[in-house]
Structures are given as C-alpha cells and as structure tokens.
Copies of this chain bind each other. A is one copy, B any other.
Amino acid sequence: MDSQPTPTPLSDEQPLNPGAPLRALCFDIFGTVVDWHGSVAREAAARAAQWGVRLDAGAFARAWRAGYAPAMQEVREGRLPWTSIDGLHRRILDRIAPEFGLPLHDTPASAWEAFNLVWHRLDPWPDVRAGLAALRRDRVCTTLSNGNVSLLVDLARHGGYDWDAVFSAELFAHYKPDREVYLGACRLLGLAPESVLMVAAHPSDLRAAAACGLRTAYIPRPEEWGPGGPMEPSRLGEFDFTAPDLPALARQLGPAER
C-alpha cells in the first residue's frame, strides 16, 4: 500500500473504502444474478414451437418484463392491493399473450400457470455460482429482491447456489425502491446500513440503497435485455464498487475486516 489518494474504485486492485467494516451483501436478483431474458426467451420459444405459433421469443420476454415495473408501481401507489410477483407476472402474461398470438384460452389452466412460473426457473449468469461461493466465505450474502420468497427459493435451487438468507420485498410489504425494503434488510441482519453492501445491475436500485446509507456495488450486465439491449446510465465512480462479475467483486472486497 502506498500513500496515493484513493482512486475511483473501478479496478480489481481497488482496496476497500475506509469506514465501517462490510459484514453483509444484499443482492438484487432479476438481471443481477439471473438471466431472465435468455431463460424466458428459451422457454417461450420451446412452448411456441409446441403450440405451432411463430414467436419473436426475445421480444416476448422483453414485453413480459416491461410490464413489471408499471405493475409494481400500481402496488406502490396503492392502486392495486399487495400482489406477489407471481400474481403480477400472471396479469401481464394474460394481457400480452393475445398480442403475441399465444393460445391463452386454448391451453389447460395448469399448463398456463406452469408457463407463468418460468420466472421460478431462470438460469444464473455463468459467474454466479463460483462468485457467490467466494463472497459467502467472508461475509453474509442474502437476496434483496422484489421477487416473492418462494420464487427466490426456487431460483436458487434451480441454479444450484445457496444464500445465507432470503430477503424479499414480500417480508416488508413494500417494493424496492421503497426505503422500507433496504432498511428492513439491515434490521434483520442486525447491522448498520454502512456495514451492508447492496449489489445490483441497476443504478436506480443502488441509488435508493445509498440514500438509506447502504454501500453499493455495481455489476453491469450489458446483456440483461438481450444482445445490444438498453442499460440504465450511470456516472463513473458513482458507486463504492464496480465489478464486471461476482468473482471480481470478491477480489475487490478481499477478506473480512476485523
């Protein structure tokens, strides 16, 4: 270590910022840990082939996901009573199915519900299993997602990785970016916000966490919305850490501070 001023934390060599020791990491899931676009598009394409429907599976996956933020906003503003993500996904699916020519009314209810639950079977990004194992060695790692608890449990079992605890908006009856979610996670962890690191692919999520006093790690996932898809803009050095994947984040954090 030399006495240079601390550089903007963008490289693997970046030492931990001074301050309270980091004890726990809370992970956003959709897009940050799991590849919803690729997973939904693959299953939609397979079902469309069975149904004999010609489908732009990528566009369908994006449309399904695009309905999600407005639906959550309806809940956040009280226009819709508390509804789990499974329920929101089903509302959106039923609305967009006719637009894409999918046979909503000719499909048995159980098969249609099974299709809705594709969001419980999303594959992790390739770096997640090894990265999470490395990060869990030194710090508590939990989910902090708008997905409901049973969905998050299913995703981890499907992907073959483990969490120390599964935290969800459902536990707080508030969706991110409501403060209740970030502060609720810190309370359950028994930690001050500055000892908790929010890990996400979405600058908006990280900004809301930072406003509650959490520290932030940005993991850009440029293919979240498919190849060439859009990304939320962010400023260089805006977050405490930026890493291309979870193993790189583990190297940046290093071992737990005493």
Binding site for B on A (CB under 8 A): 86, 140, 148-150, 152-153, 156-157, 162-166, 170-171, 188-191
C-alpha gap A140/B156 in the complex (Å): 11
Q: How many of these chains are in the complex? A: 2
**What are 16 contact pairs spanning A and B, CB under 8 A?**
A140-B153, A140-B157, A148-B188, A149-B189, A150-B188, A150-B191, A152-B165, A153-B165, A153-B189, A157-B164, A162-B162, A164-B166, A165-B165, A165-B166, A166-B166, A170-B188
Closest 9 pairs between A and B when the two form their complex, measured CB to CB: A150-B190, A165-B166, A149-B188, A162-B162, A153-B164, A153-B165, A150-B189, A140-B153, A171-B171
- Contact call A149/B165, Cβ cutoff below 8 A: yes
Sample of 6 further A-B pairs with CB below 8 A, known A150-B188, A164-B166, A170-B188:
A86-B190, A140-B153, A149-B188, A149-B190, A150-B189, A165-B165
C-alpha gap A150/B195 in the complex (Å): 14
Residues of B within 8 A of A86 (CB): 190
Residues of B within 8 A of A149 (CB): 165, 188-190
C-alpha gap A86/B86 in the complex (Å): 35
Residues of B within 8 A of A165 (CB): 149, 152-153, 163, 165-166
Closest Cβ neighbor of A139 among chain B residues: B157
C-alpha gap A170/B166 in the complex (Å): 14
Residues of B within 8 A of A171 (CB): 171, 188
C-alpha gap A148/B170 in the complex (Å): 18
Closest Cβ neighbor of A152 among chain B residues: B165
Closest Cβ neighbor of A23 among chain B residues: B150
Residues of B within 8 A of A152 (CB): 165
Return A186 CB to nearest CB of chain B, in Å.
Answer: 10
Closest Cβ neighbor of A84 among chain B residues: B190
C-alpha gap A188/B153 in the complex (Å): 10
